[in-house]
Amino acid sequence: MSFHKSNSRTPLAPTEYTKIPTVTAGYDNEKHNGSRSNNASVNQTKFIRPEMADVPVQQAAGSTLPLVISKKKGGGADDSDDVNYNPFEHRKVEHPTSDLETFVHLLKGSLGSGILAMPMAFLNAGLWFGLVATFLVGTLCTYCVHILVKCAHILCRRRKIPMMGFADVAEQAFLDGPVGLQRWSRFIRFVVNTFLVIDLIGCCCIYLVFVGTNVKQVVDFYMEDSETDIGIRLWIVIITVPLIFMCLVRNLKFLTPFSMVANLLMFVGIIITCTYLFSDTPATTERVGVADVAQWPLFFGTVIFALEGIGVVMSLENDMRNPTHFIGCPSVLNLGMGVVITLYTFVGFFGYLKYGSETAGSITLNLPVEDKLAQSVKLMIAIAIFFTFTLQFYVPMSIIWKGIQHKIAPEKQNWSEYALRVGLVVLCGAIAVALPNLGPFISLIGAVCLSTLGMIVPSIIELAVYHEDPGYGRFNWRLWKNVFLICFGIIGFVTGTYVSILEFHAEFSH
């Protein structure tokens, strides 16, 4: 079957409906070397820019990372003129990962600072409601990742593209959807990238607050007799200064050793923290089983912040030796997220059971500050998060720079990039100084960004992709399912944002 067979069709009459996509691609078996065209026609080979992904896969998790297609049920002949096209045959991965390696990477990428905020989530949900709701929200987050990856598979088959980024999938889905959506294709790309940047910048701000709060606790213990009292805002400023210089490093490979140290310190810190949770644990009857409904939005925002890893899983799938094992049942994603959800629920349940109404924004803040081992845990995890900041910062910086680089004269690009890096770190520090409260901050980022990227956008993408072919199924079940997910995401967005703002207002008023 010829590669150009699908393009050798008779031009349609002016009165017939023709889609003219702007994100389409032809692919050479020998090399991936295309160029973008906004005047694509059904009678010519279609191309796209060389880098489909907005951020290369090897940079960091949480960005607009490449998606690679696989043969999945639901695609087939309905999704491509050439059912024999297998993009995996055109993809070259220098060091592909096995299923077990991908599973381990998924655990490592998901078990971050979010797990330390889970006891606070249970504080806002109640012991038993939090137990059930965490599993339900985690299941919805995992399912929405399935939706996004499956739609990417279908779109890649239709356009004969070996990989697509998150923003590319959203844009192409709108181009393949109803006529009314096509004019919004560039806008949805902008929305996805904007929310990714806001989310990641917000995470960087949370990291600054986290590090500053833990360091302040330990230092204050040894300076309690001193007249010098360094406030949390000043600590954030002190921590921001060295990060300005660290974030000037443009090559990610120089930051790899810091990542290894951060992973080790975080792992040891969480293990030691868990040992504190099982000493003198009170009875479950001493804790609130179901919290007040007004607190639930804070729970939702915190849990989705902790569990949502839509960028991480895409990059992992792209590097797999057998990508078809990533989604499905059973699959690497299901098993990995099952373990992650269980661990998060475990820490949240026993953390709240241990500390009750005294539960802090990070469980490390509840550890006895006079205990030497607890002090080491606070400092270990603070150092781990400090080093993680540089990696997290790398992604929004890359997205923003790629968006404005072409507008800057070549001779000015070098110092302009450094100025942007300094400006972004200073911005993160300024936001953290203005909002030095972990609880509402985490909930706000989860509600605003991750409910949008993790639930609303994937559901809209599926509605657009399945609009004409293969359709919404019997009784339009796909339509109603996605309407539910979108409404759930919107409710979480609105209520989580509103309650978080009220929390901030109350703090400033006090």
pLDDT of residue 40: 36
pLDDT digits (tens, 9 = 90+) for 74-83: 344 444 444 6
pLDDT digits (tens, 9 = 90+) for 163-191: 777 888 899 999 988 888 889 999 999 99
User: What is the model's pTM?
Assistant: 0.77
Closest CA to 301 of 189, 423, 202: 202
When pLDDT is averaged across residues 123-132 and rounded to a whole number, the result is 94
At 125, the pLDDT band (50, 70, 90 cuts) reads very high
Residue 277 and residue 353: Cα distance in Å, rounded? 8
- Number of residues in the chain: 510
pLDDT of residue 94: 73
At 313, the pLDDT band (50, 70, 90 cuts) reads low
Residue 183 and residue 197: Cα distance in Å, rounded? 23
pLDDT of residue 45: 32
pLDDT of residue 419: 93
Q: Is 451 helix (H, G, I), strand (E, B) or coil?
A: helix
Average confidence score pLDDT of the chain: 78
When pLDDT is averaged across residues 20-41 and rounded to a whole number, the result is 38
At 38, the pLDDT band (50, 70, 90 cuts) reads very low
Residue 199 and residue 409: Cα distance in Å, rounded? 29
Closest CA to 115 of 272, 345, 313, 329: 345
When pLDDT is averaged across residues 484-488 and rounded to a whole number, the result is 94
For residue 455, what is the DSSP state?
Answer: I
The answer to whether 349 and 122 are in contact (CB under 8 A) is: yes
Name which of 160-174, 201-215, 278-292 the model is least confident about: 160-174
At 28, the pLDDT band (50, 70, 90 cuts) reads very low
Closest CA to 436 of 210, 242, 115: 210
pLDDT digits (tens, 9 = 90+) for 414-459: 999 999 999 999 999 999 998 888 888 888 888 888 889 889 999 9
